[in-house]
């Protein structure tokens, strides 16, 4: 009831003082949308918990796809599976006439981050398995709840318009969105709203300093020989990999300070007494612009050729993924931010705050309470370029359609991204409340866009006049490049049978924590021996 009273107060204040891009939809429609999201709180919890339990990494989101698309079909959406040549990718559409608004978020999880939820100490569910240490299990459930609520209001109030939901497949691999754009998935879309998990409500417009990135694997080819008896007869592909890594690290000093690059050796040979004939290294090159990203890629290619020449080997490369630099739309940002101010942050309980503190304390993090205020609307004047080295392949969509990216408060402040500690809260009331709050913001923003043509027109004008003024979409992707569907396939063939034992059954248990026998809040900060 307190959340409802808070919204009523916010709507009353809005009616007295709204201006600019905010509150374009009728206030009664927005209030109804928020109430319809609240009515789905149980479904949100089940979706968030279920996707968490599936623990599926990039290109292997089969169970996640089946579950989420099934819910959408039951709620009147038409689903198309296998879009852009990616088996786990899909769209779900509804509506007729009016603007076409696309709602998206990511669904995959990183490898190696398996973690019991609701436990403040490191405890993998399946050793070495993937886990939602990035919180992607919460985003599409949020968007589904928002879409269902907006659809219901649109039907009741005869508001024309169309919705399209889509998942960020293999985002951790930068593996899908550039291919979505190339395949025309967003053709005819008027605006995209994209959500990503965070620990606060935040958004902004313009260039956020989120770099582009190329994901590429270099494979060196040599000749085997007995490494002890006649190594001179061999040509070591591993030498090529190691020499490339050394050369790249020397070159770092002479690259732009804001760049990021990192690699893993994916194949180092078979055994020490056989000179490796094949070895591979996988790189991410991150640059602050299209040109900067391309130049890093070209430097990497040149170094790989030099390493091959120096070791007498040859080298080939395969593009595994790509993400364009991000650029947020001003009209969409201002509209969505106005709705963030209406909804406000979730009302955290004492148990929520206690669990957050336990996670921080057990993992040597700064002790920060769950946030109570939304973040500021960022602008080009407030962005610190080079401070954010993380990328997001929503950037490719941003150069095709006016797009806004926002974060919603479903995790604990001060944690480490791509770490198992960031999975600890992602199937707890913290994640559930954050997803519900985010769904309200999205549903209200959808209604703004459906009922106020000038916002859609302003978004399109900003993209053409400002975003495209001195920059154009220039990916390194070529017509010969295709989604790297092989990634994580072998891993999941090995681990899926073990993970299936942990799938959430909402028909038998109120929450995933109940199924796992975990009391909330679990404040045991000393792991059991």
Span 327-352, pLDDT tens digits: 999 999 999 999 999 999 999 999 99
Confidence of residue 15 (pLDDT cuts 50, 70, 90): very low
Average pLDDT over residues 297-317: 98
Span 465-475, pLDDT tens digits: 999 999 999 99
* C-alpha dihedral sign at 358, 362, 363, 368: positive
* Average pLDDT score over the chain: 94
4-13, 50-59, 117-126, 342-351: range with lowest mean pLDDT: 4-13
Average pLDDT over residues 406-419: 97
Confidence of residue 26 (pLDDT cuts 50, 70, 90): confident
Contact 324, 429 (CB under 8 A): no
Element holding 285 (H helix, E strand): strand 278-287
CATH of domain 212-323: 3.30.70.360
CATH of domain 38-206+325-516: 3.40.630.10
Expressed in angstroms, the distance from the first to the final Cα of the chain is 43
Report percent pLDDT > 70 for the chain.
Answer: 94
| Residue that is written with structure tokens 């620990």 in the block | 199
Confidence of residue 11 (pLDDT cuts 50, 70, 90): low
Average pLDDT over residues 486-514: 98
Q: What's the pLDDT at 16?
A: 39
Confidence of residue 364 (pLDDT cuts 50, 70, 90): very high
Span 389-405, pLDDT tens digits: 788 999 999 999 999 99
Report how far apart, in Å, the C-alpha atoms of 130 and of each of 62, 87, 471, 491, 494 are. 14, 19, 37, 9, 12
pLDDT at position 199 over 60 = yes
Q: Domain limits of the chain?
A: 38-206+325-516, 212-323
The pTM assigned to this predicted structure is: 0.95
β-pairing, 161-168 vs 212-221, is: unpaired
């Amino acid at each position: 009831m307190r959340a409802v009273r808070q919204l009523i107060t916010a709507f009353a204040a809005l009616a007295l003082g709204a201006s600019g891009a905010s509150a374009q939809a009728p206030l009664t429609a927005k209030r109804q949308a928020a109430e319809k999201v609240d009515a789905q709180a149980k479904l949100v919890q089940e979706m968030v918990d279920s996707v968490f339990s599936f623990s599926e990494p990039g290109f292997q989101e089969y169970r996640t796809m089946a579950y989420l698309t099934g819910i959408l079909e039951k709620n009147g959406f038409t689903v198309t599976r296998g879009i852009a040549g990616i088996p786990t990718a899909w769209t779900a559409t509804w509506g007729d006439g009016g603007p076409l608004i696309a709602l998206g978020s990511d669904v995959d999880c990183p490898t190696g981050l398996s973690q019991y939820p609701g436990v403040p100490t490191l405890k993998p569910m399946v050793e070495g398995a993937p886990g939602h240490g990035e919180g992607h299990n919460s985003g599409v459930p949020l968007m589904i709840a928002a879409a269902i609520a907006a659809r219901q209001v649109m039907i009741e109030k005869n508001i024309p318009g169309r919705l399209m939901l889509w998942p960020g497949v293999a985002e951790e691999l930068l593996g899908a969105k550039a291919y979505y754009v190339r395949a025309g998935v967003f053709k005819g879309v008027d605006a995209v709203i994209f959500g990503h998990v965070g620990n606060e409500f935040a958004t902004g417009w313009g260039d956020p300093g989120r770099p582009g990135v190329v994901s590429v694997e270099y494979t060196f080819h040599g000749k085997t020989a007995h490494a002890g008896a006649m190594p001179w007869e061999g040509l070591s592909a591993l030498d090529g990999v190691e020499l490339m890594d050394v050369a790249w690290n020397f070159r770092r000093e002479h690259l732009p300070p804001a760049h990021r690059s990192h690699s893993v050796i994916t194949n180092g040979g078979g055994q020490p007494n056989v000179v490796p004939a094949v070895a591979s290294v996988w790189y991410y090159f991150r640059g602050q612009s299209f040109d900067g990203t391309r130049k890093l890629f070209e430097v990497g290619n040149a170094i790989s050729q030099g390493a091959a020449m120096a070791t007498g080997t040859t080298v080939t490369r395969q593009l595994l993924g790509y993400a364009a630099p991000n650029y947020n739309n001003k009209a969409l940002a201002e509209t969505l931010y106005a709705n963030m101010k209406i909804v406000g942050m979730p009302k955290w309980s004492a148990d929520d705050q206690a669990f957050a503190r336990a996670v921080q304390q057990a993992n040597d993090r700064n002790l920060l309470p769950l946030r109570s205020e939304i973040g500021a609307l960022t602008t080009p004047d407030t962005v610190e370029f080079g401070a954010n080295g993380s990328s997001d392949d929503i950037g490719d969509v941003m150069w095709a359609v006016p797009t806004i990216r926002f974060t919603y408060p479903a995790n604990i402040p001060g944690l480490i991204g791509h770490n198992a500690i960031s999975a600890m809260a992602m199937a707890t009331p913290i994640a559930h409340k954050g997803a519900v709050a985010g769904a309200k913001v999205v549903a209200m923003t959808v209604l703004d866009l459906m009922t106020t043509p000038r916002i859609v027109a302003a978004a399109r004008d900003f993209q053409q006049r400002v975003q495209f003024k001195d920059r154009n979409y220039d990916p390194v992707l070529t017509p010969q490049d295709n989604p790297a569907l092989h990634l994580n396939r072998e891993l999941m063939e090995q681990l899926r049978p073990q993970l299936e034992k942990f799938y959430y059954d909402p028909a038998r248990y109120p929450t995933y924590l109940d199924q796992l026998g975990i009391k909330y809040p679990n404040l045991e900060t000393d792991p059991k021996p």
